Amino acid sequence: MAKEKDKLFLDAMKKKFKEAPTAVNTNYYTFGGWKQSKRKREWVEQANKIAKARGIPMMNQDIGVPLGQRVLMPYQLSHTDIYAEADDLHFMNNAAMQQCWDDIRRTVISGMDTAHAVIEKRLGKEVTPETINFYLETVNHAMPGGAVVQEHMAEVSPGLTADCYVKVFSGDDELLDQIDKRFVIDINKEFPKDQAKQLKEAIGKSLWQKVACPTLVGRVCDGGTMSRWSAMQISMSFISAYRLAAGEAAIADFAFAAKHASVVEMGTMMPARRARGPNEPGGIPFGFLADMSQSFRVKPDDPARAALEVVALGAVVNDQIYLGSYMSGGVGFTQYATAAYTDDILEDYTYWAVDHIKSKYGGLVKSKPSMDLMEKLGTEVNTYALEMYEKYPAAMEAHFGGSQRATVAAAATGIACAMATGNADFGVNGWYLSMLQHKERWGRLGFYGFDLQDQCGAANSLSYRSDEGLPFELRGPNYPNYAMNVGHLSGYGGIACAAHVARGDAFACSPLIKVAFADKNLPFDFANITKEFGRGALREFMPAGERSLIIPAQ
Amino acid sequence: MAYQAQYYPGNSQIAKNRRRYMDPSEKLKKLRDVAMDDVVRILGHRAPGEDYKSIHPPLEEGNEPDDYVRKLVTPIEGAKKGDRIRYVQFTDSIYFAPMVPYLRAWMYMTRMRGFDTGTLSGRQIIEMRERDLEKASKELIDNETFDPAKTGIRGATVHGHACRLDENGLMFDAWQRYRWNAKKGEVEYVKDQVALPLDKPISVGKPLPDAELKKMTTIFRVDGVDMIDDPEVMAMNLRIHRLRTLCGFQAFALKGE
């Protein structure tokens, strides 16, 4: 076991509390309540002004529970040196979190091969690198809101859609050599050599467009709009670039390809009772989420960081935004979900697990899944995690909700089991081992949901039949057993990622998504997710889709 | 052969404690005697002496349809009288409180009837007909499942079970429903379950010494008794996981395990 000085969370604990992290006793009720928070003081001032101006009362910190009876602790964004107030990690107060979700929602990947086949075989026109370049110039005019086919059209201010563009990528180096570099996501440049090789082999000769629709469209409409916005502008651009007749029957093929046959949306369709369109967070499979994260691309020697970055991404997109707001609403989920990506606690458990696997199990992906391995390795990692809370009351108080601890311990166990075997289903089975042991050890677990999903989850963690299960990478927030799994979804994404980065896989589920998010022009940096959330908390992050051009100057 | 309830596996002190609390043939020790009127005040549902509010006429006055369940189940007193359903909720500190939330649920199941219960990480609610609830609450405050410093009676804003203890060893409560009376060495409630001020402080007695709590607690911890040192508990728990993994909920389908 690592020595005390090696615990990764100790720095954060010392910044959060004045006592030693091992101290059981402290003082309460002496911190000045909510006034100890700079942010809350600022808000009370704002709220008073607003209330006076509009004549309706607003935020009043003296209503409800007396906040700040203990120290309102700061939070370290894990594996960064950024500390933030909890308030600044609510997605409403954090422009980086908003842009993170915007950048996912507005991404559409659309194949060009079908359209090119229609142009060549059905219409008898030639498709060459030159025509492709011309099309890309056209579509980069049209996608942000420029008209290309009909005159006398209302267009969109480019200042509002500066974040909108179209690029292409392929496994065909020879073709891409002839495409204007301004439009290319170059796999060879962006990825380490072995990952680039895997990606190019998986993508093959196909040519794909990565469409970044305007952020503002997503905010005004919804995820279901994106493939429509993208498909309309793509179809119009083909018509214009290849001088086609807007009414001819072949145009329907472009529209069909761009809307359905050749399109990859980030979120799959959900059942009507969820009342969401496609490309909304509830439909994002964990494997897709793992592929959006780019940590393993820029730090290929650090698979643990890769998994932890996906945990952070899942915590914000799935727990804070989707379950916390789309499905629930309010402010409660932030406090819960941030536990997974703050204060280096899950970091400590995960890196301990990786070291443990290397020293006791021959290294990552050196073991075959078995019940005996599960019981041994799963118990070791989970016991370590729970013991840390017992030995360090500061860590216990940092994660003062049982659901936080349950998620973090289970995520560490699941990630470890996935990394030891390279198998995400085995990983999620480890999650459930952790849950059962945790409940037995402490006689407590999380909120009521932990009585449901986490007690029965072992029974379907290895199920593949369509009415019972799915390969883990293809499960998502809408998988029946996870549909109300608040706080769990962060860990699940991490487990899906862990199995693959441990194997050295360049992607977990979709090579197309992996490449699409390697794009440097995205406002949100998917290679440094946790850091970006921290920059958002510090108000250093510049989002897209702002409306300052069309509102009165302030 | 008649079924013999085993209640809980294991030979560690924690396992024995869990077994004892769950076994209804074991009489729980009464450690204090908080007056019934004071219990009613802390619960905060009605004033002492006030009539119970009813949600339906007494059963004996009603024309209940005849059915076999009514013949099988004897109503509890509050149900007979038509009492409304109210609650008591306990928060148990992670620092060696006598109870842990799940054990409360399991113990209630074996020792009480006529209730609904829900378990979370720090707190445990029981809902019952009001007059039965008051009796149950008094028992649960008076007996060894309650420690004045490590157990809280909290209707809302319940968190604190995992926070460090204050300088007097009391569990954190954002509403400060209770306080340390240094002169008496006792904990006294100054607010009811939902933090409305009481007319006068109500003492719930002296906290138990830490060493005593460690002997009677039901939580496995590395600085107490570690669960991995109780092979039978570990084996039982791993078996549950193994059976669920290998055969879903059809444990009977698995051969040789």
State how far Cα B228 lies from the chain centre. Answer: 26
Number of H helices, E strands in chain A: 25, 6
Whether residue B163 lies within 8 A of chain A, CB to CB, comes out as yes
In a domain, B80, yes or no: yes
Chain A touched by B93 (CB under 8 Å): no
**Token couple for A297:** 């691309």
Q: For residue A447, which residues of chain B lie inside 8 Å, CB to CB? A: 120-121
Place of tokens 């078995």: A370
Q: Residue A86 in contact with residue A400, Cβ under 8 Å?
A: no
- Could you tell me if B94 and B167 lie in one domain? yes
Residue-wise over A381-395: b if at least 16 C-beta within 10 A, else e? bbbbbbbbbbbbbbb
A401 contacts B228? CB cut-off 8 A: no
CATH number, position B21: 3.90.320.20
Contact B164 A445 (CB under 8 A): no
Confirm whether B93 is domain-assigned. Answer: yes
Given a cut of 50, the residues of chain B with pLDDT beneath it are none
Q: Which helix (H) or strand (E) holds A551?
A: none
Asked if A374 and B169 come within 8 Å (Cβ–Cβ), the reply is no
> What pLDDT sits at residue A276?
86
Residue B246 and residue B173 in one domain: no
Query: Looking at chain A, which residue has its C-alpha nearest residue B250?
Result: A459
Say yes or no to pLDDT of A438 above 80: yes
Q: Is residue B3 part of a domain?
A: no
- Residue B63: predicted pLDDT: 80
- Record: contact B120-A27, CB cut-off 8 A: no
Average pLDDT for chain A: 95
Q: Which class for B141: exposed (0-12), middle (13-18), buried (19 or more C-beta within 10 A)?
A: buried
Where do the H-state alpha helices sit in A55-162? 95-105, 113-117, 129-142
Residue B5 lies in a domain: no
Which residue did the predictor score with more confidence, A61 or A451? A61
pLDDT tens digits, A326-378: 888 877 889 899 999 999 999 999 999 999 999 999 999 999 999 999 999 99
Least CB–CB distance from B237: residue in A374, A436, A445: A436
Q: What is the mean pLDDT of residues A401-422?
A: 97
Mean pLDDT of A522-545: 98
Positions of A annotated as catalytic residues are 150, 336, 449, 485
Q: What 3-state class would DSSP assign to B76? A: coil
B125 & B187 share domain: yes
Instruction: Assess whether B132 and B196 both reside in one domain.
Output: yes
* Domain range for B219: 13-223
CB within 8 Å: B241 and A399: no
- Residue A273, pLDDT score: 83
**Cβ–Cβ contact B166 with A under 8 A:** yes
pLDDT at A4 over 70: no
- pLDDT tens for each residue of B40-54: 999 999 999 999 999
Backbone angles phi, psi at A40, to 5 degrees: -70, -35
- pLDDT tens per residue, range A157-180: 999 999 999 999 999 999 999 999
Cross-chain Cβ contact B174/A70 below 8 Å = yes
Maximum CA extent, chain A: 81
Cβ–Cβ gap A28/B101 under 8 Å:
no
Are the C-beta atoms of residues A213 and A164 closer than 8 Å to each other? Answer: yes
Read off the pLDDT of residues A262-277 as tens digits, 9 standing for 90 and up: 999 999 988 888 888 8
Of A77, A61, A65, the C-alpha closest to A346 is A77
Size of interface A-B (CB pairs under 8 A): 142
The Cβ-side half-sphere exposure at A120, using a 13 Å CA radius, reads: 11
Whether B146 and B204 map to the same domain: the answer is yes
Please give the residue of chain A at the shortest CA–CA distance from B98: A443
Let me know if residue B140 belongs to a domain.
yes
**C-alpha–C-alpha distance, residues A507 and A501, integer Å:** 8
What's CA A414's distance to the chain center, in Å? 18
Do B159 and B233 belong together in one domain? no
Exposed e or buried b for every residue in B170-195, given b needs 16+ CB within 10 A?
bbbbbbebbbbeeeeebbbbbbbbeb
User: Chain B closest CA to A515's CA: distance in Å?
Assistant: 36
Q: How far is Cα A486 from Cα A471, in angstroms, rounded to an integer?
A: 21
pLDDT digits (tens, 9 = 90+) for A496-518: 999 999 999 999 999 999 999 99
Cβ separation of B164 and A397 shorter than 8 Å?
A: yes
Q: Which residues pair with B203 in a beta bridge?
A: B188
Put simply, whether B73 touches A (Cβ < 8 Å) is no
B222 in contact with A at a CB cutoff of 8 Å?
A: yes
CA distance B57 to chain A (A): 33
- For A123-147, the DSSP string reads S-----HHHHHHHHHHHHHHTTT--
pLDDT for A467 equals 66
The tally of CA atoms less than 13 A away on the side-chain side of residue A445 is 25
Of B118, B228, B238, the CB nearest to A448: B118
For A538, left (φ over 0), alpha (ψ -120 to 50), or beta? alpha
pLDDT over threshold 90, residue A416: yes
The answer on B87 and B204 residing in a single domain is: yes
| Whether residues B35 and B56 fall in one domain | yes
How many structural domains compose chain B? 2
Kindly provide the ipTM of the predicted complex, given to two decimals. 0.96
B91 touches chain A (CB under 8 A): no
User: According to the model, what pLDDT value does residue A174 have?
Assistant: 97
Q: Do you know the residue count of chain A?
A: 554
In a domain, B145, yes or no: yes
Give percent above pLDDT 90 in chain B.
89
Based on the domain organization, do B29 and B145 belong to the same domain?
yes
Residues of A within 8 A of B96 (CB-CB) are none
Same domain, B200 and B250: no
B42 and B109 share one domain: yes
Q: What is the spatial distance between Cα A57 and Cα A277, in angstroms, rounded to a whole number?
A: 36
Query: Residue A156 phi/psi, 5° resolution?
Result: -110, 140
DSSP state, B165? Answer: B
Nearest to B244 among A387, A393, A458 (CB): A458
Q: Where in A311-423 does DSSP place strands (E)?
A: none
Mode of pairing for the β-strands spanning B85-92 and B151-153: antiparallel
CA distance B241 to chain A (A): 6
Say yes or no to pLDDT of A447 above 60: yes
Residue B257 within any structural domain of the chain:
yes
What digits encode the pLDDT tens for the residues B79-118? 999 999 999 999 999 999 999 999 999 999 999 999 999 9
pLDDT tens, residue by residue, A460-490: 998 887 667 899 999 999 888 888 788 899 9
**A207-212 β-sheet, strand order:** A165-170, A207-212, A107-111, A263-265
- Looking at the fold, whether B177 and B238 belong to one and the same domain comes out as no
Q: Is A209 helix (H, G, I), strand (E, B) or coil?
A: strand
Q: For residues A71 and A518, what is the distance between their CA atoms, to the nearest angstrom? A: 40
B1 part of a folded domain: no
pLDDT of A3 > 70? The answer is no
CA torsion angle for A241, A247, A250, A255 (degrees, to 10)?
70
Q: List, for residues A69-110, the tens digit of each pLDDT value.
A: 999 999 999 999 999 999 999 999 999 999 999 999 999 999
Q: Which residue intervals of A392-463 are DSSP H helices?
A: 393-398, 402-421, 424-442, 449-456
- pLDDT given for residue A5 in this prediction: 61
Pick among A444, A447, A453, A481 to test the B interface (most B CBs inside 10 A): A444
The pLDDT, as a whole number, for residue A123 is 92
Does B199 touch chain A if contact means CB atoms closer than 8 Å? Answer: no
Residue A213's pLDDT is 98
Nearest to B159 among A25, A401, A459 (CB): A401
Contact A400 B95 (CB under 8 A): no
